[in-house]
Amino acid sequence: MLEAFNAVLNRDLRLAMRRRGDWVNPLVFFVIVISLFPLGVGPDTELLRQIAPGIIWVASLLATLLASETLFRADFDDGSLEQLVLSSQPLSVLVLAKVLAHWLITGLPLLFLSPLVAVVLQLQGRSIPALMASLLLGTLTLSLVAAIGAALTVGLRKGGVLLALLVLPLFIPVLIFGSSSVLAVEGGFPVQAHLSMLGALFLLSLALAPLAIAASLRIIYE
């Protein structure tokens, strides 16, 4: 089972290197959205600092959603997704490998870009560790939840709108606790409670999302 997990993970990472647009576009979108806000709201440093956590988290959420639409699409089109469903290995383990590969090529770069965009939005240096910790837990959760919607809509031709309608309500708790963790540091309050909630959401998603994704994919081929 571990060999199958590693095989799927390595395969998806190699394919991602060939299809750079699938992971470069969300990163470019993330940077552009954040770069436009200072132009739109003006050079007020205090205002930018107040809204920066929400801006970064909304941009991260939308970038993850943009990238998740293609999570299973290529495999569905070439028939390899059906082979995964028919495999003797647990489907939940295989799809977890695909989600991990998706996060490594989309969520992890967002994590590394976050200190740079934090400087652009005038966040204080003490807030950056909390921002990165919250994004680490939050983007993992977002990838798992978005994969459920991607699995449900993979058989549809223009399923992007339906995907957004399905998963955006589930993104809201992550958005709230993620941005609140940075605001807590900015206000001088403890951040442990917010990070604990993000960790709990991640563990809940890790336990349930692979099963939901596997069930959704099986429904498509029944």
- Half-sphere exposure of residue 119: CA atoms within 13 angstroms, side-chain side: 4
Q: Is 74 helix (H, G, I), strand (E, B) or coil?
A: helix
Q: Of 136, 147, 109, which is closest to residue 29 (Cα–Cα)?
A: 109
pLDDT band at residue 209 using 50, 70 and 90 as cut-offs: very high
Residue type, 2: L
Predicted pLDDT of residue 159: 65
Torsion of CA 32, 35, 41, 45, to 10 degrees: 160
188 or 172: which leads in pLDDT:
172
**Alpha carbons 189 and 65: distance in angstroms, whole number:** 31
Measured in degrees and rounded to the nearest 5, phi and psi for residue 72 equal -110, -5
What residues contact 142, with CB distance under 8 A and at least 6 apart? 60, 61, 64, 65, 107, 171, 174
Q: Model pTM? A: 0.89
Q: Which pLDDT tens digit goes with each residue over 82-132?
A: 888 888 888 999 999 999 998 998 889 889 988 888 888 888 778 889 999
